[in-house]
């Protein structure tokens, strides 16, 4: 039986860091795309997949909500991972040596103040772990990477400055996916994630949501996105607190089902302690 967990990105990526933090007993398997990450689990090459869904700084991760319902996988856990950005340089370099810092486009604005105050120019790389690998290969003291400390360890770089992000709340939420669902109540605080499409009747969404309000079920997320290339085909993604066996949740989902043309539960899982 495989003991690997798949993630999208190169070794040292923040998804790799999430694998180490949430599943230290599993070997991390890097994959080039989110589709390849999901396929690794479906094909049995990995036991689970670590998939980022949203970040407190740059919001929803593109395409994930579209991929999850059709993946054939189930959410079995969630992990909140604090994203710390570090300045990584070649051995022997100092901050004064650095003229350029390379990283993914979304990371550069998150430490803009640090770079500006030190006269360092930000440069775009396809991936933060790739930036670390490139800096190691270039061997130039004037070039550094913005990445995780794990990336520095993997590629033999020195940490010139730790935790340089402008805001101290930068966190990414990951979902852990598996081939088989786990609907057992493994914690007092449980979460349930589902997708749905409302029936084509007036005020269908308003009525569908009413069951959660009247039954006292807290909905922590509700997002819409288009499907099938149509402006009129809208699917909703939702997270709620509770387990489907809870009477209020059961009643709310039954009411939701009445007003929907499609309803699919993607998983029930313990809430990450960071939620509390």
Q: What distance, in Å, lies between the first and last C-alpha atoms of the chain?
A: 35
DSSP code at position 215:
T
Please calculate the CA angle 158-162-167 and round it to the nearest 5 degrees. 150
DSSP β-ladder status, 48-55 and 86-89: unpaired
Does the annotation mark 33 as catalytic? no
Tokens of 270: 């313990």
25: burial class by Cβ within 10 Å (0-12, 13-18, 19+)?
Answer: exposed
Does the CA dihedral 114-120-124-128 come out positive or negative?
A: negative
174 is catalytic: yes
From 7, 34, 174, 194, active-site residue: 174
Token code pair at residue 263: 């309803």
Cβ-based burial of 118 (10 A; exposed 0-12, middle 13-18, buried ≥19): middle
Please identify which of the residues 172, 192, 260, 268 carries the catalytic annotation. Answer: 172
Helices H, strands E: what count in the chain?
8, 15
Annotated catalytic sites, by residue?
172, 174
């Amino acid at each position: 039986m495989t003991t690997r967990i798949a993630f999208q990105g190169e070794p040292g990526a923040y998804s790799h860091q999430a694998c180490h933090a949430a599943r230290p007993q599993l070997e991390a398997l890097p994959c080039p795309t989110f589709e390849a990450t999901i396929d690794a689990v479906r094909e049995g090459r990995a036991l689970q997949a670590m998939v980022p869904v949203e970040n407190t700084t740059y919001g929803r991760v593109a395409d994930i909500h579209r991929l999850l319902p059709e993946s054939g996988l189930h959410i079995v856990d969630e992990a909140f991972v604090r994203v710390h950005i570090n300045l990584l340089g070649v051995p022997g370099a100092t901050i004064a040596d650095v003229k350029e810092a390379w990283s993914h486009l979304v990371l550069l604005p998150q430490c803009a103040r640090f770079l500006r105050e030190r006269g360092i120019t930000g440069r775009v790389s396809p991936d933060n772990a790739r930036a670390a690998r490139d800096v190691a290969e270039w061997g130039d003291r004037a070039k550094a990477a913005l990445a995780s400390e794990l990336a520095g360890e993997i590629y033999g770089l020195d940490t010139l400055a730790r935790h340089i992000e402008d805001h101290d709340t930068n966190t990414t939420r990951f979902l852990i996916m598996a081939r088989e669902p786990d609907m057992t109540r493994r914690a007092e605080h449980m979460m349930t994630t589902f997708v749905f499409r409302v029936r084509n009747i007036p005020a269908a969404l308003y009525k569908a949501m009413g069951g959660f309000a009247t039954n006292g079920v807290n909905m922590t997320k509700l997002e819409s996105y288009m499907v099938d290339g149509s402006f009129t085909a809208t699917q909703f993604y939702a997270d709620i607190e509770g387990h489907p066996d809870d009477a209020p949740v059961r009643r709310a989902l039954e009411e939701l089902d009445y007003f929907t043309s499609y309803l699919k539960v993607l998983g029930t899982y313990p809430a990450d302690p960071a939620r509390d």
